Structures are given as structure tokens and as C-alpha cells.
Chains A and B, each alone.
Chain A
Amino acid sequence: MSRTKADGRLLGARLRNHDLLAAPAVLNLLESRSPAASLQTGALLKAVSPAALGSEAPGHVVGVTGPPGVGKSSLLSRLVTQWRSRDRSVAVLAVDPTSRRSGGALLGDRARIDVDPSDRQVFIRSTAAGDRLGGLAPATRAAAAALAVAFDVVVIETVGVGQAETEVADVADTVAVVVQPASGDVLQFLKAGIMEVPDVLVVPKADLGRIATRAVSDLRAALRSLGTAGTPVLAVSSAAPPSGIDELVDALDAHRQQLDLPAVRLRARRMHALADFAAERGERGLRALGGRREAERWLAEQDPGLDLPGLLAALESRASEAEAAAG
């Protein structure tokens, strides 16, 4: 038997009314996998779609990613404080790097984000990454889309190894990549071509002085050689006394200002639909669409007005047609 009692349409309405206390129930629903829950999830996503809202969800979806142990959580702690001092509500979706062993996972990240527990304008939810180390959790894309309706800022925190950077770039309006100073990361960036992903580069541990300054100048040089010298590189310190946090928030805001938001969100929805489709149908499903790249190309030609359930339905019918034709 299923215990899903959540009403997706009602939860969507609560989010549209900026009822931040709806967030836990929204996440409970989005994480549920029963057939009844998928029905309600569909209703929720419809209720918060641009068509229902009359515009894109106003919240700023920010991805914060970087290698393990780089200090993302202490940085987030400071960022949340900074956003709160600017009177913005914040939701944090912490995608825990712990890979699921035995199906279970240890989620310990929220403790490191130090906030006042009585502050109703802050919401933190941790979820285990999917099967891949560093990937997004299955519900993260939908959660970001839904919470951006009610919260001023929605942060997706991931561990940046392998695929995570590109996945978070699919979802977020702005991606901040945290780079460990005095590590091989700077070089890795150049090699791996990850430089295409970040909208803002952050060098933490500015209190280390010369080491951080050196990392900043190395990164700037690397960006110049890639022809993306416009990407801001900021040194911050999360340790007491914090520094550079104010400037980082300004830089994130500035990036968002110059975005073509409808285009970014449209792409996010399409990638979301493809991810859900792939999770549901696996490699075979993707093959039926002619492969991931072909599917992306096809999606780009579809009606921009389609919401997530609509996009999913379109992918489904295209795959069925292809299978029938091959059949």
C-alpha cells in the first residue's frame, strides 16, 4: 500500500503563495517513487510551470560544486548568512557525495551549514546522489524547479567529480565552481575542459594568503588562454573573520542579471525531461531516441511552451514510434 497523501496541486499553490513551510512536503512527494506519487508530482510540476505562473520561476538557482573537502559547506554557511542579511529566503539542496552502499546512505552535510534553526526562511534538504558518485539525486531537478517558485535563492550543492559539473550546469542558472588552492585542480581544469562550466570561480581559504593569491592568478591566466577572461575569479575565506563573501554574492547576482532566463530555464526543463526519461527507460530508451545527442537536438526543436510532463510525454511517444517502426 502507498502512504502518499500529498496533493500536488495544493502544494504547487502553496509554493506560488510563497509558503516556505510547504518545502518539506514538496520534497517528500518529489522523492517518492510510487505510481500515486508520480501522478501528484505531475500535478505539482504543472502547478509551478511557467504556463501556470505566467513567467519563469523567479528564484535564482545557484549550483555550488567542487571537489570533496574543499570547504563547500563552510562556504555555503557564509553564503546563506549573506543572503539572509540581504533578506532573501534560501533553500539548499545538498546532494550528498556518499555513494549508496547497500542502498543506504549517510547524509551529514547539513550540520556543516550553520544557520539559526528558528529561521523559517532557510530550508535545507540532503539527499543521496544517485548511483553515480557526484551525480544529482533523482529528485533534485524537480525540486529546484519547484522551490524556485517560492524561495529567492535555491542552491544545489554537489561534489564536483566527473559528470556532476555538467549535470548541475543543466539545472542551475549560475554555477559556482570551488577550486582547491595549491592542488592539482587548476591544472585539471585546463586538461578536462571544465572551464566551460563555471560562471563564477571561487578560491576558498583566502586566509592562506599567498597560496590563494597564486591560485587566483593561475586561474585568470587559464581563462585568458581559453578566451573566457570574463569569468570572475574570487578569493574568499569562510574561516573567521570571513572575507570575499559579499563580493561573491554580487558576482552571482551580476551573472544572473545578464542571463536570458527563459532560454536557460527552457533548456533546463528539456534536460530534466531527458534525464527522467533516461532514468525510467535506461540505455534502450535512449537508443530508441537515436542516442542522447540526437534526443537533445530533437528536444531543442519542440514547442518551448511544453512543461515537464508534456516534454516527457513527447519523448515517450517518439521512443514508442521508433520502437514500433523498428519492431
Chain B
Amino acid sequence: MPDKPSARLPERDRPWLIRTYAGHSDAKRSNELYRRNLEKGQTGLSVAFDLPTQTGYEPDHELARGEVGKVGVSIAHKGDMLTLLDGIPLDQMNTSMTINATAAWLLALYIVAAEEQAVAQESLQGTTQNDILKEYLSRGTYAFPPRPSMRLIADTILYTVRHVPKWNPINICSYHLQEAGATPVQEIAYALSNAIAVLDAVRDRVGRAPQDSEEELMDKVFGRISFFVNAGVRFIEEHAKLRAMALLWDEIGRERYGVQDDKHRRFRYGVQVNSLGLTEAQSENNVYRITLEALAVTLGRDARARAIQLPAWNEALGLPRPWDQQWSIRLQQILAYETDLLEYPDVFEGSKVMDGLVAELAEGAREEMQRVAELGGAVDAVDYMKAALVESHRERWRRIESGERVVVGMNRFTSTEPSPLTADADGGILLVDPQVEAEQIAAVGRWRAERDEAAVDAALQELASVAHDESADIMPATIAAARAGATTGEWAQTLRDVFGEYRAPTGVGEAAAVPSEEVAALREEVERVSEALGRRLKFLVGKPGLDGHSNGAEQIAVRARDAGMDVVYEGIRLTPSQIATSAAQEGVHVVGLSILSGSHRELIPAVLEALRDEGVEDVPVVVGGIIPDADADAMREAGVAAIYTPKDWNLNQMMRDIVALVGERHGIDTAAPA
């Protein structure tokens, strides 16, 4: 008989790292926010960067317009990084940076900032997200094509394993896959396939320039790979998903990479729980959702998160205020310190239900991973995975629209009292000072004027020549450029010149059509209006600016196609003038713009102006995204025909509106014939 497992742990577990994903405006304001959060009992930092920093553009670049300091902090050079970390002891802090395309650069800035604090890189702790494939699949902040991006990732991994041993050089993200609509099986399979692609890339580079015994090095590399996962409100299945990932990760370590040490094969993950399921309608209910989702990643000790950051209740409305973030930290603290959660061994041990769920998910994931492997691995399967995600997301929306999937307060139990939480003048969200962009542009100008230009030029030249040589390690030249005072935009531009640029697949072409009576009725209406127009109703769906969150735009493009429209969808990261040129040349009847990064106040008027310059100002413009009410009125006045926010989740209704709008502009009677 085996020993009866003790029902209690001899001593209470230490809690996970408690963080909030934070940062906005400039380094100084973000530093103040971090210090306040740390005083409140937060135990680690999680830095949110703005989109120009994430995609490697200067604050004064055309594409950065309206985005500086919006979804995170603008870090343009080492001076900004020093300010950001001022008074925070880097030998003790554990800092997670949500940074991908420019991860090598931000890591270099962090190392250089530590040098100035007299902290050796060996003692730094933290994480760079550094996962590019999910940027192609979901999040959109990529900068370079796949092959050179994988090289950058491999080089940062090898550099940190050798010189910054406590650093997590990559957080393989399943988080964003779920946000893009992944089922649990897809989330597991694509994240692990992605990890395999990364490990293979590292192994390949080790083979080129061996410095250590490869076996031992790959063991260490494997041990440094961590994950960043998502947890939705179906929290039992979500917990099973994490156990299945741990099981498969162990398998991959043993079988594919021959990792001997159990410790190196442990599945380590941090988590941000689901944003996709948060609602704008009755947004206070999100607090319950977040709580349940937090249970998904903490309940069973064998698959418990190492670090957690929870969203704030009002994410679907706009940027959370410091008070909203405090409320979110308190939830973690109650879970970690008030409840008895950390006093027991794994509470699911021996559970037939849990084991059954885990086996089912693992089996499904193995099959899907096999499919990806047959396509040549995750890098080559980006198109396939993207299309599969768009398809899953479409199915998810269909279920919500049909009511098969209940979302309380949104498609069921919708009657409500007015919310006192959003009654304040600020509408219950944080408003970024509109002066930040101009300040940051001026500041980076001063920085460029005051630095040693010759040193920067030499460092960037060296970076370019290293980039050209595929076998060379990109990190030392990157750190040297950071030290010399180069800017984020200069580092990225130097590499863009060598590596070229890239546009990720949109995945919309392959999505299946939705068979429904409602869509059939819509189609008839589109046919009728198209006939009256003389040619098929043509709709441009555009994503201006740097915001890469394209899931919503993709679903709208697919539904518009299903409704019978010709849809021009060009993917993310378009300038206002590109959108206007497309609208004119393509002869579209209506333009739809999607922005979730808060830059709508700058970008929407810019698109309207560009349309006027192209002489197509009579084409109506509709806007979708996270648009606070206060901004919506101003945009309507500027000429926007309609505004849709997350509470307008019924896509068919949106399509009906758009057809009616086009009809009205062309004097076509759109009331369906009796």
C-alpha cells in the first residue's frame, strides 16, 4: 500500500508573483505608478510598452501617430529605461516585459540600465515575452519576417542562458491564441508547436557556433523556456488544459530533446486571464469572471501559475485607472493570503474526472501538433494556424449570437440598473494626457541632439554588418548600440533594412460561411442594394495605426463577405493615407475602421482628412473599437456615420446598419420590400 498522502502541506506554499500589467505615457509617469503598485504589495513588475516601442518606430514616425504612450510606456532609448526603473533595485526585482519583435533591444536596454545601477547582468531576474509566432497569429506587433525573427529569438535565448542565467528569455504565449478564438486543444497544440520551432531554431544555432557541450546547453535552454497562458471562464476545463500542457511539455522534453533533469522539464507559466470574455455591458460582472478564471490557474498545485496578472474590470471600456488596478491586485492578495488555497497538496490528485479531461485534451493536442509538424513546423504553418483560429473565432461568435453560449448581461439576463461605477465624469477609465505624444517627440529629439552621434553611427553600422552575417550573434552589437545611445526606432530600422519587412496572413480567406437564416436575409438585402448600385456593394475594412488586435476586424470582414459584399481587407498597420488611397482606387461604397489601442482620437480624423484629399469624402465611414462615449460624440461630429463598441456584439445587426447606410447615401430605398 502506498503511503496515504497527507491532506495538508507541512507548510504553506509561497504565493506566485503578484503583478499588474501596467505602464502608460512616459517613463517618469510609469515609474511613479510602479512605485505605488509595489507599495500596495505587488511583488513583481509587468511592463506594458506602447505600440511604437513594441514595433520599433520612433515616436515621430508616421505610423506612431496617436499611439505614443497609449497602451503602454514609450521607451525610446536607455535614458527612458533608466527613468522607468529609477529607485527600483534591479538585483531584487523580477520584471516581466511584454515585448516581442524588439525584445532583444529592450533586454539590452534593461542590461545597460542595470549596469548604471552597478547591478551585474548575472543577477537580473525577469522575462522578455519574445514570442513572434503569436504576433503573426494574433497580436500583430511583429517587425521582421519569420526567419530573421526566429534568429533574434534564438540569439536572445542563447545570450541569456550563458550570461543572464535567471532570465526567462521567452514566454511562449498561448494567451493571445485564446484571445484570437483558439479552442483549448488549439491553444495547447499551437503553443507547444511554437515552442518546438523555437527550440529547433536554438539547436540549429548552437550547431553553427558551439561554445558549450550541446547536450548540456540544450538542457538549460529547455529549462529556461516558460509560457504565458490564458484562462477563460470555463475554469475546470481551463485547469485541465494547463495540466495537459505540463504533461505534453514533459513528453517533448524527454522524447524530442532528451532532457534528463526533471527540473528542466517542469512546465513553468505565468498568466493573464481572459480579456476576450470581458464584457462592456454590465462590466462590473467581469470581477466575478476574473475571480473564477484566477481559480483555473491556481486551484491545482501541480499546474499552478508562477506569476499572475489579472485584468481590471473595465478593460472593455478603456484603460484602467490606478484604483481599478488596485482592485485587481487585491483579488490576487485575497486568494493568496486570505483563503486556504496554498495549504494543500494538489487537490485534483486521483480525480478521475480531471484525469479524463486532461487525457482528452492531450490527445486532441497531439493530433493537431502532428498536423502542424506535417506542414513543416510552426513557422511554415502560420497560414494554416491563422486560418484555423479565424474559423474557431467565427464559430465562437456564432454560438454567442445564437445564444448557445451564454454571456450574462450581454446575450442573456440583460435588464440592468444604471451603473454607479461608470457615472463619474471620466466614465470609469483612465484618460492619457494628449500632450504625451508631443512631449515624447520633443524629448527624443533632444536625446538625439545631445548624444555622441559618431558612436551611435558606428554601433549601428556594426549592428548592420552582424545582421548580414547569419552566423553572428546579434546580442553583443545590440547591447553596444543601447550603450551608445541609439534609439528603439534606429535599432529596428537598421534591422528592417537588412531583414526586410513582413505582412502576416489575415486568415480570413479560408473561413467558412455561416449558414443561418439571418445571414440569408441579409444577403438578399445586399443583392438588392448592389443591383441598385449597379455593381456589388464593396466594403473596405481598415486597421489604421499600429494596433495589431485584428480579431474583431477579421470577423467583420468574414461576416460581410458571407452577407454577399466584396470586402477589401488589407490586414493591420495601415497609415491613414494608405486607407484613403485604397478606398479611392478600389471604389468602395463604405469604409469601416477598427481601433482598440485608444488612438482613435488622432487616427479617425486623420483618415477622414485623407479621404477628403483623395476626393472620396462622400464614402461613409463607420468605426468600431474601444471608444469611450465622450469620444464617440466628437467623432460623430467630425463626420463618422456610426460607432460600434464591444456592446454591439451582434454582427448581423451591424451588417444591416451598414447596408442601410450605403443605401441611404445613394438614395436607395432599403426598407425590405413587403
B509 within 8 A of A: yes
Task: Tell me the bound Cα distance from A239 to B498 in angstroms.
Answer: 10
Is there an interface contact between A103 and B532, defined as CB atoms closer than 8 Å? Answer: no
Chain B's nearest CB lies how many Å from the CB of A281? 20
- The interface size of chain B toward A, counting residues with CB under 8 Å, comes to 49
Q: Which residue of A lies closest to B147 (CB)?
A: A239
* Docked-complex contact A104 and B563, CB < 8 angstroms: yes
Q: How near does chain A come to B661, taking the closest CB pair, in angstroms?
A: 15
Q: With A2-B532, A24-B584, A118-B577 as given contacts, are A102 and B666 in contact (CB-CB < 8 Å)? A: no
Q: For A105, list chain B residues within 8 Å (CB).
A: 561, 566-567
B441 within 8 A of A: no
Rounded to whole Å, the gap between the CB of A126 and the closest CB of chain B is: 7
Given contacts A24-B586, A102-B513, 20 further A-B contacts (CB under 8 A): A2-B532, A4-B534, A28-B587, A36-B534, A102-B523, A102-B561, A102-B563, A103-B536, A104-B562, A104-B563, A104-B567, A105-B561, A106-B557, A107-B568, A107-B569, A108-B509, A110-B586, A124-B585, A127-B566, A240-B498
In the complex, A81 has a CB within 8 A of chain B: no
State in angstroms the CA–CA spacing of A110 and B506 once bound together. Answer: 13
Known contacts: A23-B585, A117-B577, A128-B566. The answer to whether A106 contacts B509 by CB under 8 A is yes
Main secondary structure of the interface of A (DSSP, over half): mixed
Report whether B562 and A37 are in contact in the complex, using a CB–CB cutoff of 8 Å.
no
Assembled-state Cα–Cα distance A27/B561 (Å): 21
Nearest Cβ on chain B to A260's Cβ, whole angstroms: 33
Whether A24 pairs with B145 at a CB distance below 8 angstroms is: no
Q: Whose C-beta in chain B lies nearest to the C-beta of A97?
A: B509
- Chain B min CB distance to A205 (Å): 12
Asked whether any CB of chain A lies closer than 8 Å to the CB of B303, the reply is no
Instruction: Please give the distance in Å from A204's CB to the nearest CB on chain B.
Output: 14
Residues of B within 8 A of A31 (CB): 535-536, 587
How many Å lie between the Cα of A27 and that of B534 in the bound state? 12
A34 proximity list for chain B (CB < 8 A)? 534
* Min CB gap B636→A, angstroms: 25
Any chain A CB within 8 A of the CB of B612? no
Interface residues of A in 8-43 (CB under 8 A from B): 23-25, 27-28, 31-34, 36-37
B667 close to A (CB within 8 Å): yes
Instruction: Please indicate the chain B residues that have their CB under 8 angstroms from the CB of A239 in the complex.
Output: 145, 500
**Beta-carbon nearest neighbor of A4 in chain B:** B534
| Residue of A23, A106, A125 contacting most chain B CB atoms (<10 Å) | A106
Shortest CB–CB separation between residue B373 and chain A, in angstroms? Answer: 19
**Is B311 positioned at the interface, with any CB of A under 8 Å from its CB?**
no
* Whole-angstrom CA separation of A101 from B511 in the bound complex: 11
Q: Inside 8 A of A33's CB, which chain B residues have their CB?
A: 534-535
Residues of A within 8 A of B557 (CB): 106
| Binary flags per residue of B117-149, CB closer than 8 Å to A gives 1, else 0 | 000000000000000000000000000010000
Within the complex, which residue of A106, A114, A127 is in contact with B561, where a contact is CB–CB below 8 Å? A106
Contact indicator B501/A106 (Cβ below 8 Å): no
Contact B587 A27 (CB under 8 A): yes
- Output the residue of B568, B570, B577 with the most chain A CB within 10 A: B568
* Interface membership of A123, Cβ < 8 A: yes
**7 A-B pairs with least C-beta separation:** A240-B500, A111-B570, A32-B534, A103-B564, A104-B561, A117-B581, A34-B534
- A127: chain B residues within 8 A (beta carbon): 566
Complex contact A125–B571 (CB within 8 A): no
| Of the residues A69, A101, A125, contact of B587 by C-beta under 8 Å | A125
Contact of B535 among A32, A106, A114 (CB under 8 A): A32
Binary contact readout B191-218 vs A (1 if CB under 8 angstroms, 0 otherwise): 0000000000000000000000000000
Q: Residues 214-229 of chain A: 1 if any B CB is under 8 Å from the residue's CB, otherwise 0?
A: 0000000000000000
CA–CA, A111 and B572, complex, Å: 9
Q: Which residues from chain B contact A36 at a C-beta distance below 8 Å? A: 534
- Is B564 touching A104 in the complex (CB atoms < 8 A)? yes
Taking CB as reference atom, which chain B residue is nearest A127? Answer: B566
A112 at the interface (CB under 8 A from B): yes
A104 and B587 in contact, given A32-B535, A114-B501, A239-B500 (Cβ under 8 angstroms): no
Assuming A28-B587, A31-B587, A106-B508, is B533 touching A3 (CB within 8 A)? yes
Using known A-B contacts A3-B667, A24-B587, A240-B499, determine if residue A104 contacts B578 with beta carbons closer than 8 Å: no
Q: Quick check: A101 and B535 within 8 Å, CB to CB?
A: no
Is the beta-carbon distance between A107 and B577 smaller than 8 angstroms?
Answer: no
Kindly supply a per-residue 1/0 record for chain B positions 499-517, scoring 1 wherever the CB is within 8 Å of any chain A CB and 0 otherwise.
1110100101100010000
Alpha-carbon separation in the docked complex, A242 to B167 (Å): 37
**Contact indicator B565/A104 (Cβ below 8 Å):** yes
State how many angstroms separate the Cβ of B75 from the closest Cβ of chain A: 27
Tell me the complex Cα distance, A124–B583, Å. 11
Note all chain B residues with C-beta closer than 8 A to A27. Answer: 587
Residue of B563, B565, B666 near A3 (CB, 8 A) is: B666
Residues facing B in A196-243 (CB within 8 A) are: 239-240
Instruction: Tell me the smallest distance from the CB of B550 to a CB of chain A, in Å.
Output: 12
